Amino acid sequence: MELVKQTRAHKARLDLNAAQVAVLDGQAHTARTLWNLLHEYFTFRQGRFARLKECDAAIRAARHEIDWMGQLPAQAAQAVLKTYRQAWANFFNPDHPAQRPTFKGRLRSRLTVDVPQARDLQIKRINRRWGTVNLPKAGRVRFRWTKDLPGLTKGGPAGRITGARLVKEADGWHIVFRAERHVPAPARHLGPQVGIDQGITVALALSDATMREHGPWLTSGQREHLRRLEKKSARQRRTRPPGRLTSKRLARTYNQIAKARATAKRRAVDWQHQTTTELADTFSVIKVEDLKIKNMVRSARGTIENPGRNVAHKAGLNRSIAGEAWDRTVTLLEYKTRDRGGQVVKVPAPGTSQTCHQCGHRDAANRDKTRFACLNPDCGWVGHADTNAAININNADGTPVSGRGDLGATRSAKRQPPRAA
């Protein structure tokens, strides 16, 4: 039986005391500073990039000369160098969407610390709900056990943990385990084909005339609490003199806003996981639009010479698009369909919502919000606009981005290596 390597990440919440939080905060800020020092050293070397050996020697010298650099474990410091070099490799790869590496700001960067070697973790399960893990310089820490980890549970999945990364979010520190397993190659999925139109009024409309919808991510009381916190932060910003650092009260308000938004995000991700799993189990080929989301959420503010129109309306639309996280839905579908022997196909987006799937007549006036009425006198089809768009997506030809079969490819088309001339 053919086996394939499967790499997955498993995220768990850490249960830390105040001293351990301070240790991890110090390590994360040291790692961020080390990134900035590497960026300065790497890019300002008399007109040439520094070599890997030079960067490694500079890190070793800095750890001996600067006391606070010792907060970061040596292996985590080497992981920063590896990540930084990979960022440049991604930037120079013409098929990779990565941007040029830049300095990391203290308030705008995500706090992370790498634990690259699994042997340092010493993971152990202590009961049904909790496990323990060893974190360098922080000691033994409990984490929430919500899923069996490969190679650590009797009768559980076979495999191993290859490392971890510590990530700080609005609700505290989390650990992301890197898990590796060898599983049988999936057989070809024999389910039907479907097209999916992603929207705001209807989250997912399928070409079989069904829909996948969700309610608000926050309750009415939570939304009102968030609204009051945002008004409070606005008042606190108005009373702060220009150039003054953020006060502790304003920082506390920002933290409360971040926690409320993190709750909404967790619920959104949970719904996306459940929905994409159901779709990957049911359908063999899933077609979606190849959306350029970065262009879609571009501000309409314009310039002083050419001011934009309907700026507030466009800003609200951008927030709604960002809240649906369409790109994350497609990413989840890609690896889940690949694991089940199916595939995801991206089709061109223009015209799918304005074209009648019955007769092919294309006119912007065909659609009126969620109602589609074909203006072709020989057709006259009437139905839900999102269902019509999903049928057009299902009928279109596109580029497979994941899965197996004659149409499939194992990686995104834009991440394929360039062909030889």
pLDDT tens for each residue of 181-196:
888 888 888 999 999 9
Q: Tell me: pLDDT of 143 over 70.
A: yes
Provide mean pLDDT across the span 249-265. Answer: 93
Sign of CA dihedral 85, 293, 337, 415: negative
Q: Tell me: pLDDT of 25 over 90.
A: yes
Provide mean pLDDT across the span 364-390. Answer: 88
Judged by DSSP in three states, 315 sits in helix
pLDDT at 370: 86
pLDDT at 417: 35
Q: Tell me: pLDDT of 174 over 90.
A: yes
Q: Tell me: pLDDT of 276 over 70.
A: yes
Q: What percentage of the chain has pLDDT greater than the value 90?
A: 45
Q: Tell me: pLDDT of 317 over 90.
A: no
Q: Which residues contact 235 (CB under 8 A, 6 or more apart)?
A: none
Mean pLDDT across the chain, nearest whole number?
86
List C-alpha distances in Å: 177 to 143, 148, 162, 391: 11, 11, 8, 40
Provide mean pLDDT across the span 373-395. Answer: 89
Cα separation of 280 and 285, whole Å?
9
Sheet of 399-403: strands edge to edge?
Answer: 211-212, 204-206, 193-198, 285-289, 343-347, 399-403
pLDDT at 139: 92
Judged by DSSP in three states, 181 sits in strand
Q: Tell me: pLDDT of 421 over 80.
A: no
Cα separation of 270 and 274, whole Å?
6
| Domain residue ranges of the chain, discontinuous segments joined by + | 3-18+114-184, 20-111, 193-348+396-415
pLDDT at 367: 86
Per the document, the length of the chain is 421
Lowest mean pLDDT among 36-50, 360-374, 380-394: 36-50
Helices (H), 137-247: 220-238
Q: Which amino acid is at 41?
A: Y
| 383: phi then psi, degrees, rounded to nearest 5 | -175, -170
pLDDT at 97: 82
Lowest mean pLDDT among 76-85, 134-143, 272-281, 402-411: 402-411
Q: pLDDT grade, residue 60 (50/70/90)?
A: confident
Provide mean pLDDT across the span 334-341. Answer: 91
The burial of 10, by beta-carbon neighbours within 10 Å (0-12 exposed, 13-18 middle, 19 or more buried), is given as: middle
Q: Tell me: pLDDT of 2 over 90.
A: no
Report yes or no: 370 and 385 within 8 Å, Cβ to Cβ. yes
pLDDT at 263: 94
Inter-axis angle of helices 74-92 and 18-43, nearest 10: 50
Cα separation of 223 and 92, whole Å?
43
Residue among 280, 407, 274, 387 nearest 346 (CA):
407
pLDDT at 416: 35
Provide mean pLDDT across the span 147-152. Answer: 84
Sign of CA dihedral 411, 416, 417, 420: positive
